Amino acid sequence: REALAVTARLCGPELERYGRCVAASPGSWHRDCHQLSLSVTECASNHPLVRRIRRDCSDSFGAFERCLRERPRSAAECGPHVNRFLLCAQSVTHGDTHGDTHGGTQGGTHRD
């Protein structure tokens, strides 16, 4: 989720244009929206966390992209591939922030 939030924060306009294009071209989005896809990729690749996810989760992301290519008119069928990729991305981002535990102290009220 964090990686997606980072990508959305850094590349929101690119993601929005790409999403609109895909929604408007259900049968030909892979052709019509290719340039917008590249702009999202280029934008996202400039962030270290996103670069790490692309490296560590390339297998699950590749399976998702393959599914989209094979089912251009029924992208909803690729949900399991998306879930696998998101789980991988989540594990990468949690690994990145693992040392940062804000547990807080229980019963930390001070009395004078």
Query: Which has the closest alpha carbon to 60: 92, 38, 35?
Result: 92
Q: DSSP code of 111? A: -
- What pLDDT, on the 0 to 100 scale, is given for residue 4? 66
Judge contact between 43 and 37, C-beta under 8 A: no
- The whole-chain average pLDDT of the chain stands at 76
Residue 1: band (very low, low, confident or very high) from pLDDT cuts 50, 70, 90: low
Specify the pTM: 0.50
Domain limits, the chain: 1-95
